[in-house]
Amino acid sequence: MVTVSYSFAQQLKSEARNNNSKRTLTHGAIKLETDRIFNKLVALRRDLHENPELAGNEIRTQKIIAQYLLDLGLEVETNIYGHGVAGILKGGKKGKTIAWRSDMDALPQDFPDPVAFRSVVKGVQHGCGHDIHMAIGLGIAEVLAKNKESLKGSVYFIFQPEEETFIGAKGMVNSGLFSKIKPDEIYGLHVSVLPVGQIMVKPNEMFAYQKRVRIKLKDELPKEDAKVLTKKIHSALFRAANGSKPWEIQHINDPKIGPANPNTIFKDFLITDEKFTIYSKNGNLFLEAYLYETNSANLEALIPKIKQVIAESGYNDQLLSISFVQENPTVINNEKLTDIATKTLKIIFGKDAVTTDYGQLPFFNDDFTYFQQKVPGVYFFLGGSNLEKGIIAMNHAPNFQVDEESIRTGVKSFSSLILERLKKN
C-alpha cells in the first residue's frame, strides 16, 4: 500500500493543478469519499454476512440493495429475473454507459466461522465473498451518485442472484436485462486468496475450461476394472508443465509458480478429477469426472481421446456413449478493455496497483461470462487475504475469511476506473 499512497500523492497534485472546476470529480475526491463511507460499508457487509441467502432465495438481500440504491437517488429495477436488482445512475451529462456487476448469493455450508457476525441462518454462509462484492457495488454506487452532476454518461449497477448455481446471469440476460439497460462496457470482480490490496487480471480466459464428462458403458465391467480404466483415462489426458501440480490451487500466491509469474504452473494444462465417480444405473455403468483444460483449441479432441483409451483397453464393445453433461462457458476478458483498465489503474494508483495474471485457474468459474457474451467486459480478482491477521480468502474453503480492507480497495479503484471510462467517448 506504500506505493499506492506515494503515487496517489502525485495524482492529487496533478489533479489540483488541472482542476479548475470544483464540480469535476477527481480520484482524490473518490478516495476521500470511499474512506468516509468505509465504516458504513463494513457494517452493511457484516449484516449481509450474518443473514446470508442461498441462490434463488435472495429476498432480504434484494430488499436491502434496492433500498440502498433508492436512497442514493438511483432508478431501481427489481422486476428482471429472480431477486436481481438493477440500479441506474444517470450522470449530469450525456456520454458512455458502464455496468458494474455484483453477485448476491451465499453457499449451502456450515463451517466454523470465527467472526462475531457469523451467519444466523443454519447451513447457509457467505463462503465465497459475495457479501463483500455487494458492499463494493453499493460503495461505488454511493461514491459516484454523490457526484452524479459531474458524470458524463450513465452507470448501471447490476446485482445478480444465483451465481453459485450458474443460473442468475443467464436468467437476467434472457429476461431482457440489456433491453432495460444498454451498457457499452461491463466490469465485475471476485474476492480471491490474493493479498488484500492486490488486483489481478488477464486478457481472455481467467479460468480453465471446466467440463464434466460422462462415459456410459454396458454394466458388464467389474467396478475394479472400471477404476483401472478411469486411471488410464486420467493419465492419458493429463498435461502439465514438467512435474508441476496445477491442481494445488494454494500456490496462487507463490511468486515463482503462481499466476503472477509468466512461468506459472497455472497455464497450459489439462487435468481431471483424480478419482472418477463410478455408479450403476438402469443396467448401465457410468464413469464421470470434471476436466480442466486451458486451451480452447484442445476441447474438441477430448472425447475422441477418451474413446481411444477405451478402445485400447479392449472395452469398445462395452462403450455406449461419451458426452459432456456440464460445460459452462468461461470468463473471457476483452483484450482491449483489459489493457486499458490495467493502464488506467496503474496511472492512478501506481504500477503495483494491478498484477498481470498469466495463468488460468482450475475448479473456479463465474457466470459473469454470460454478460460478457453480450457486452465487452473485464472481470478482476481482488485480494482478500491478510496472513498477518490470519485471514485466508480461499473461496469455498472451510476457513474462508476476507479482510474488509478489500472493500476500500474495490470501491476506490473501480469508482476511479468507471470515472475514467466515462470520460472516453
Q: How far is the CB of 190 from Zn ion (least distance, A)?
A: 6
Question: With helix as H, strand as E and coil as C, how does 264-318 read?
Answer: CCCCCCEEECCCCEEEEECCEEEEEEEEEECCHHHHHHHHHHHHHHHHHCCCCCC
**Strand pairing partners for 361?**
207
Phi, psi at 85, each rounded to 5° = -135, 140
| Cα 189 from Cα 169, distance rounded (Å) | 14
Task: Calculate the alpha carbon distances from 408 to 106, 206, 263, 337, 391 in Å.
Answer: 22, 24, 31, 23, 16
Q: How far is the CB of 54 from Zn ion (least distance, A)?
A: 13
Q: How far is the CB of 371 from Zn ion (least distance, A)?
A: 15
Q: How far is the CB of 274 from Zn ion (least distance, A)?
A: 24
Minimum CB distance to Zn ion smaller for 66 or for 106: 106
Phi, psi at 321, each rounded to 5° = -165, 160
Q: How far is the CB of 133 from Zn ion (least distance, A)?
A: 8
130 is known to lie in a ligand binding site: yes
Contact residues: Zn ion, CB under 5 A: 128
Phi, psi at 210, each rounded to 5° = -105, 130
Minimum CB distance to Zn ion smaller for 10 or for 165: 165
Minimum CB distance to Zn ion smaller for 318 or for 395: 395
Which residue stretches of 19-90 are H helix? 27-50, 59-71
Minimum CB distance to Zn ion smaller for 128 or for 291: 128
Minimum CB distance to Zn ion smaller for 77 or for 131: 131
Q: How far is the CB of 395 from Zn ion (least distance, A)?
A: 6
83 is known to lie in a ligand binding site: no
N-terminal to C-terminal alpha carbon distance within the chain: 32
Nearest CA-CA partner of 61 in 83, 37, 87, 89: 83
Q: How far is the CB of 164 from Zn ion (least distance, A)?
A: 7
190 is known to lie in a ligand binding site: yes
Q: How far is the CB of 364 from Zn ion (least distance, A)?
A: 8
Hey, how many other C-beta atoms are within 10 angstroms of the C-beta on 324? Answer: 13
388 is known to lie in a ligand binding site: no
| Cα 3 from Cα 9, distance rounded (Å) | 10
Nearest CA-CA partner of 376 in 180, 178, 142: 178
Minimum CB distance to Zn ion smaller for 30 or for 128: 128
Minimum CB distance to Zn ion smaller for 191 or for 309: 191
Task: Tell me if 62 sits within 8 A of 159, measured CB to CB.
Answer: yes
Residue number of the CB atom closest to Zn ion: 128
Minimum CB distance to Zn ion smaller for 190 or for 251: 190
396 is known to lie in a ligand binding site: yes
Task: Tell me if 354 sits within 8 A of 162, measured CB to CB.
Answer: no
Q: Mapping DSSP to helix (H, G, I), strand (E, B) and coil, where does residue 61 land? A: helix
Minimum CB distance to Zn ion smaller for 7 or for 395: 395
Q: 85-90 and 75-77 as β-strands: parallel, antiparallel, unpaired?
A: antiparallel
- Per-residue burial over 357-394, b if 16 or more Cβ lie within 10 Å, else e, is bbbbbbebbbbbbbbbeebbbbbbbbbbbbeeeebbbb
Our CA angle for 113, 116, 122, nearest 5°, is: 50
Q: How far is the CB of 85 from Zn ion (least distance, A)?
A: 17
Q: 152-160 and 93-103 as β-strands: parallel, antiparallel, unpaired?
A: parallel
As annotated, the binding site for Mn(2+) includes: 128, 130, 164, 190, 396
